Amino acid sequence: MKITSLLIRLFVFLVVFTTTAQVFSPVSWKTSVEQNKKGETILVATATIEEGWHMYAQNIQEGGPIPTTFFYPKGITLVGATTEGEGKVVQDPTFEMELKYFENKATFKQVVKLDKKSQKLKASVEFMVCNDEMCLPPKEVDLIYDISSVKQTTFNNKEEEVVTSVDTNNKKQSYLVLFLLSFLAGLSALITPCVFPMIPMTVSFFTKQSKNRAVGIKNAIIYGVSIVVIYVLLGTFVVGVFGADSLNKLATSVSFNVVFFAILVFFALSFLGAYELVLPSSWGTKLDEKADRGGLIGIFFMALALAVVSFSCTGPIVGTALVESAAHGGIAPVISMLGFSLAIALPFTLFAIFPGWMNSLPKSGGWLNTVKVVLGFLELALAFKFLSNADLVLQSHWLEREVFIAIWIVIFLLLGIYLLGKIRLPHDYQAVEQLSITRLSLAMVSFVFVVYMVPGLFGAPVKLIGAFVPPLEYSESPRGLGSATTAKEHTDLPEGAHVLEPYNILAFKDYEKGLAYAKKVNKSILLDFTGYACVNCRKMEQNVWTDAQVLKLLQNDVVLISLHVDDRQKFEVEEVSKLTGKPYKYKGQKWSELQEAKYKTNAQPFYVVIDIDGNDLNTPIGYTPNVKEYLSWLQEGIDEF
């Protein structure tokens, strides 16, 4: 499968590379009209998306790709917001944020009240699509709803049932990853001071109290199943209280992220030994009384007693797993607790069935508290991810990239020092006299991670933690901490020009202003059709433009005009499209129209070397990751000028 996928991607790349004059249109729209029991009209728009492409959802954080947006005409009253299918939620490495998009098919519904009778209703939708190689500029299409053809929707006994388009395979994969991560979290909870010592005690109980081996095995299995049931019920409770559909919105809100940051810090300090999290002792006493009854009920209460007694260690991990799973929405908390509880239950069950395995277990000791402290440092680092989420949404710039990385450097530096035994915390009753290979290895990993993060302060991408740190542009300086300024940044900047960081290239975002400057200095022009959401554009800039020879040409021999087809800024003076006769809503529409009309393509990146009269100097090219090939092409255009 991997070879097939690689060949397909290679074929797509060759097609894109060799046929630059191709206009992509991977999305088609169909409309229908339904009616609910309240007599309200439901406008249904269905997008069919070609294989390999995906279209973004309606609600996207600022700084991300262009969201799908519907525009409805006057004369109708909107009832609520436009609903959409579940789609697929991923952590996008390009935008460094969590994004939702649709593949294959997407259905959108809007309940409306018609203020006047009409046979046809005209609306429009703006959307953006991408694949693994490129992103297309935002496109707006008209939607015609035939009001006269009304279908009856289906209902349940509580509320209107909204039919959505769901990618079952993607959902299953997402749940599988969540299950495995939760299973690993359960294993980490298993080797904490509150849980690990309980294994031999529990095994001893089943082996001594059972009449024979068969009864002991049965009781052990019931005990393990009871642990799973208890935690799964906890996940079900979370879904039931908050609602499956609202969990994702809750997990992305500012207040939620701030509150959970505080909770994680509280849990982390507990793991580090500042205080002990203990549920009321009366709970444990009552559960012990119930467990003494014996039988199925007694075994169940034994499992419940384990959950209560071990709360000081498992509580922070369970809380983290539940909130992380809440971001997935749906039944994710149930899946998370299933994975977590299986990791806890399996060892208890297996060791009770095979008591001889107990001899292979390490003895309890100070290493259990070390595990707890390590988890505390990790919880503390994770907490700042949630604070960063809130800061990014608010755009308050309190926790910019450099500050975030500096905090993580300090946390993992302290973790490494602790593992070397140079720091003692409240629950470390004995000093580390001799380092084990495990502690030394973990300390080395922590220090290596610190060294890896240090260049991130100076603008390095630090891709290993790209999903956690704020994006590069969300920093004190796009060039990194302590970078020197240049004259171009402060003086003698032509009208409409800016310095493209961190490459120190004079660039324009407006065609006319860039052309006027090129005429003034008598230089050729590199026309760069690009986009903020363009993956391959960033690859070209980071991997090709940074080459010393290419960079020298860009800085000295051409005037760079970067036309962002997804630029959402409005024109200071209203401009009207010559093709449609409608005013441009934002600048990107004009540049997208220019590229498609003149060069018969809408793929980015797309590069053209032109003279001061706007004439092409050589054949335009698209994505060209080969540095020598791109350098040769660029030099050819400059020489022709």
Is residue 435 one of the residues assigned to a domain? no
Does residue 68 share a domain with residue 47? Answer: yes
How many residues make up the chain in this entry? 641
More confident residue, 88 or 320: 88
Q: What is the mean pLDDT of the chain?
A: 75
Tell me what percent of the residues of the chain surpass a pLDDT of 70. 67
pLDDT of residue 148: 72
What is the per-residue pLDDT across 185-239, written as a single tens digit (0 to 9) for each?
777 777 666 666 666 666 666 666 656 667 767 777 887 788 788 777 877 776 6
Contacts of 625 (CB under 8 A, 6+ apart): 539, 540, 543, 544
What is the per-residue pLDDT across 236-261, written as a single tens digit (0 to 9) for each?
776 666 554 444 445 545 677 787 78
pLDDT of residue 173: 52
Does residue 203 share a domain with residue 96? Answer: no
pLDDT at 288 over 60: no
Least confident span in 343-347, 404-408, 486-490:
486-490
Distance of CA 54 to the CA centre of its chain: 15
Mean pLDDT in residue range 352-360: 67
pLDDT of residue 162: 33
CA atoms within 13 A on the CB side of 244: 7
Long-range interactions of 7-15: CB distance < 8 A, separation 24+: 9/132, 9/133, 12/52, 12/131, 12/132, 12/133, 13/133, 13/623
Does residue 118 share a domain with residue 45? Answer: yes
What span, in angstroms and rounded, lies between the C-alpha atoms of 226 and 304? 8
Does residue 182 share a domain with residue 161? Answer: no
What span, in angstroms and rounded, lies between the C-alpha atoms of 576 and 583? 4
Calculate the CA dihedral of residues 551, 554, 560, 564 and round it to 10 degrees.
Answer: -20
Q: Quick one: pLDDT band at residue 446, thresholds 50, 70, 90?
A: very high
Residue ranges making up the domain that contains 505: 487-640
Mean pLDDT in residue range 172-192: 73
Does residue 343 share a domain with residue 234? Answer: yes
pLDDT at 605 over 80: yes
Sheet of strand 129-130: strand arrangement: 88-92, 97-103, 54-56, 129-130
Does residue 155 share a domain with residue 175? Answer: no
CA angle 212, 215, 217 (to 5 degrees): 110
- Token pair belonging to 628: 């020598």
CATH number for 35: 2.60.40.1250
pLDDT at 163 over 50: no
What is the per-residue pLDDT across 489-511, written as a single tens digit (0 to 9) for each?
445 788 888 887 667 888 898 88
What is the per-residue pLDDT across 42-62, written as a single tens digit (0 to 9) for each?
899 999 998 888 899 988 877
Does residue 600 share a domain with residue 499? Answer: yes
pLDDT of residue 160: 35
Structural domain count, the chain: 3
Q: Which amino acid is at 577?
A: S
pLDDT of residue 154: 38
What is the per-residue pLDDT across 14-26, written as a single tens digit (0 to 9) for each?
444 444 445 678 8
Does residue 140 share a domain with residue 179? Answer: no
Is residue 14 one of the residues assigned to a domain? no
**86 neighbors 330 (Cβ within 8 angstroms):** yes
pTM greater than the 0.85 cutoff: no
pLDDT at 481 over 60: no
Domain end marker among 399, 421, 451: 399
Does residue 224 share a domain with residue 132? Answer: no
DSSP 616: B
What is the per-residue pLDDT across 145-154, written as a single tens digit (0 to 9) for each?
888 766 444 3
pLDDT of residue 159: 35
What span, in angstroms and rounded, lies between the C-alpha atoms of 481 and 487? 18
What span, in angstroms and rounded, lies between the C-alpha atoms of 303 and 227? 5
pLDDT of residue 190: 73
DSSP H helical ranges for 243-365: 247-251, 254-272, 281-291, 295-309, 311-326, 332-353
Does residue 196 share a domain with residue 148? Answer: no
Is residue 370 one of the residues assigned to a domain? yes
Is residue 315 one of the residues assigned to a domain? yes
Nearest to 408 by CA among 385, 424, 425, 427: 385
- Token pair belonging to 7: 């060949």
DSSP structure string for 135-176: BPPPEEEEEEEETTSEEEPPB-SSSBPPP----HHHHHHHHH
More confident residue, 338 or 527: 527
